[in-house]
Amino acid sequence: MSQTTNDLDWAASLREQMVAELESAGLVLTPAVAAALRAVPRHVFGPEEPLEAAYALHTILHRTLDESGAAVSMISAVEVQAMMLEQAQVTSGSRVLEVGSGGYNAALLADMAGPDGQVTTVDIDERVTERTTRYLAQAGYNGVNVVLADADGGVPEHAPYDVIMATTSVQDLPPTWVDQLAPDGRIVVPLRLRGTPRVVVLVRDGDRLVSAGYELGHFVPVRGRSTPDERSLVLDEVGVTLRVDGDVSADQAALASALHTEATVAWATPREVSRFDGLGLWLAVNEDAFGMLNATTDAKDRGLVAHSWAVGIPAILDQVGRSFAYLTLRRTEDGPQFGATGHGENASELVARFVDLIEAWDTTSLDAQISLYPAGTPDDVLPSGEHVRVLDRPRNRVVLTWPTQTPQGV
Catalytic residues: 76
Which residues make Cβ contacts (< 8 Å) with residue 334, sequence separation at least 6? 270, 271
Please check whether residue 323 is in contact with residue 342, taking contact to mean a CB–CB distance below 8 angstroms: yes
Look at residue 251 and give its three-state secondary structure: coil
What's CA 293's distance to the chain center, in Å? 16
Helical pair 78-88 and 31-39, crossing angle rounded to 10 deg:
140
CA distances from 59 to 121, 138, 190, 215, 252 (A): 22, 21, 19, 19, 34
Nearest to 396 by CA among 158, 166, 212, 228: 228
**How many CB atoms sit inside 10 A of residue 7's CB?**
13
The sign of the dihedral angle between the CA atoms of 281, 283, 286, 292 is negative
Please check whether residue 400 is in contact with residue 281, taking contact to mean a CB–CB distance below 8 angstroms: yes
**How many CB atoms sit inside 10 A of residue 66's CB?**
11
Nearest to 375 by CA among 345, 354, 396, 344: 396
Residue 158 DSSP one-character state: G
Instruction: Give me the torsion for CA of 227, 229, 232, 233, rounded to 10°.
Output: 160
Computed on alpha carbons and rounded to an integer, the radius of gyration of the chain in Å comes to: 22
Please check whether residue 240 is in contact with residue 293, taking contact to mean a CB–CB distance below 8 angstroms: yes
